[in-house]
Structure 1
Amino acid sequence: MHIKEVVDRYYELANAGDWDAWCDLFAEDLVMDEQLAGHVEGIGPLREMMRGFPETFAVFANKPVHVVIDGVQAAVISTITARTHSGAGIEAGVCNYFRIEDGRITYMANFHDSVPFAPIQQPQGA
């Protein structure tokens, strides 16, 4: 897959909630710096992390606003709109950085304001 196709598929699968296929976009030895989840290495830990995603969000959408591709790198400005199962709304601007080699995401980092995600970071009943 061309880099633009991988990036487009990343958002398509995320917005469909198809987390197994979404994880398939990543290399086995991926490295991810995820602002809320922290540093992730390897496809196994990523798959485990994403298993809990449907339990966290009742609704989740990540819509690209601007995409820049340069060689094996891509940067995407997007907007996340989500709702937890308890009804808390989340709206945040995001910048994702990708390095894509041989049709797989080998490195990804995301950057966003963490304040809108407070409802999922606080322990239940807090």
Structure 2
Amino acid sequence: MTPREIVDTYYTLANGGEWDRWSDLFAAGAVVDEQLAGRIEGRETLRAAVKGFPELYRRFTNTPRHVLVDGEQAAVISHISAVTPDGRRIEADVANYFRFEGGLIAYMANFHDSVPFTGGAT
């Protein structure tokens, strides 16, 4: 897949709740700097981390608003809308940075307002 195809597939799988297939987009040694979870190293560690998403969010969408792909890098501005099991709504704008190697995500970092995820105002 091209970097653009990887980015498009990343959001399609996340929005479909297909976390196992989503994890397959990452290289075995991928590093993810996730604002809430911290640094996650390795695809299988990431896979284990997202396995719990269905219990954390009754509904979860991450909708890309702007996508920029430049060679083996991409930046995406998106918007997360989620609902927790107790019905609390989460709305947050996000910036994701991706670096690709060998047709997979080798590095990813995300940046967003963390308050909505910790129970604060949205």
TM over 0.5: yes
Q: Which runs of 5+ in 2 are unaligned?
A: none
- Cα deviation, residue 109, structure 1: 0.2
Q: Partners in 1 of 2:58 and 2:119 — Cα distance?
A: 13
Correspondence for 2:65: 65
Q: Deviations over 1:14-71 (max 9, x none)?
A: 0000000000000000000000000000012101101111110000000000001111
Q: Which amino acid aligns with 1:88?
A: R
Q: Partners in 2 of 1:52 and 1:119 — Cα distance?
A: 18
Q: Deviations over 1:48-97 (max 9, x none)?
A: 10111111000000000000111100000000000000000000000000
- Cα deviation, residue 119, structure 1: 2.9
Greater mean alpha carbon deviation, residues 43-52 or residues 23-32: 43-52
Q: Partners in 2 of 1:97 and 1:56 — Cα distance?
A: 24
Q: Which amino acid aligns with 2:19?
A: W
Q: Which runs of 5+ in 1 are unaligned?
A: 121-126
% of aligned pairs identical?
A: 59
Matched, 1:29 2:6: no
Matched, 1:41 2:37: no
Correspondence for 1:91: 91
Correspondence for 2:113: 113
TM-score by length of 2: 0.96
TM-score by length of 1: 0.93
Q: Partners in 1 of 2:67 and 2:46 — Cα distance?
A: 24
Q: Number of residue pairs matched? A: 120
